[in-house]
Structure 1
Amino acid sequence: MKNNYLNLIGLAYRARKCSLGEETIVKDIKQNRAKLVLLANDIGPQTRKKLTDKCKTYEVPFLIVDDRETLSNAIGKSQRVAVAILDAGFATKIKSLLG
């Protein structure tokens, strides 16, 4: 079940329904484009606080998932600690797979 959500993140990335990078994710949260934010469990404390605070302020759901290595492999990029899902369908399915 866990592997399915990683496949879905990769699919969303290839469909250009993801944003990567702290500043881009914050911008997407503010513009109400982000439907779900996925954070690696080994994200730095400052980045974690910044992103979780923005999510809470703008009422965007966020989930703490696997480590940065696993998250990065799912999208085929290196050293990614956060991914914003921009599509409601992908976001709903990933939330359901993660429980």
Structure 2
Amino acid sequence: MSEKDVAGALGLAQKAGKISSGDLGVKDALSGGKAKLLVIAADASPNTVKELKFLAEKASVPVISCMKRTELGLCIGKAPRAAVAVMDNGFAGLIMKKWNM
């Protein structure tokens, strides 16, 4: 499926309060066991990608990489974001299905 479908699902998850974004918020969600899916922007810095993928692997959280930072932030109504954590199994499953995981 397309990034547009993923963006729509992320927008719904944000409205439902099931998204954590920003550097500290994503790391807290991953280390606290709340994250069900990690979405990393395709243009995130290599250090950010490495750190977040490590935390996601440690927490057994699936990771997808799509959209640019500006698009990722825009779909959740925020400034550009390098990553967002989805904290709901239903939304995580929907996004993974739309991304063909």
Superposed pair shares fold, TM > 0.5: yes
TM range (shorter): over 0.9
1:17, distance to aligned residue in structure 2 (A)? 0.1
- For the residue of structure 1 that corresponds to 2:81, the secondary structure is coil
User: Normalized against structure 2, the TM-score is what?
Assistant: 0.93
In the alignment, residue 41 of structure 1 is paired with which amino acid? Answer: A
1:25, distance to aligned residue in structure 2 (A)? 1.1
In the alignment, residue 90 of structure 2 is paired with which amino acid? Answer: G
Instruction: Give per-residue Cα distances to partners, 1:9-54, cap 9 Å, x unaligned.
Output: 0010011100011121111111110000000000011111110000
User: Normalized against structure 1, the TM-score is what?
Assistant: 0.94
The runs of 5 or more residues in structure 2 that have no matched partner are: none
Residues paired across the two proteins, number: 99
User: In structure 2, what is the Cα distance between the partners aligned to 1:75 and 1:90?
Assistant: 14
The aligned counterpart of 1:48 is 49
Return structure 1 stretches of 4+ with deviation > 3 angstroms. none
1:55, distance to aligned residue in structure 2 (A)? 0.5
Q: Between the two proteins, what is the percent identity of the paired residues?
A: 33
The aligned counterpart of 1:84 is 85
In the alignment, residue 70 of structure 2 is paired with which amino acid? Answer: E
User: In structure 2, what is the Cα distance between the partners aligned to 1:79 and 1:90?
Assistant: 21
The runs of 5 or more residues in structure 1 that have no matched partner are: none
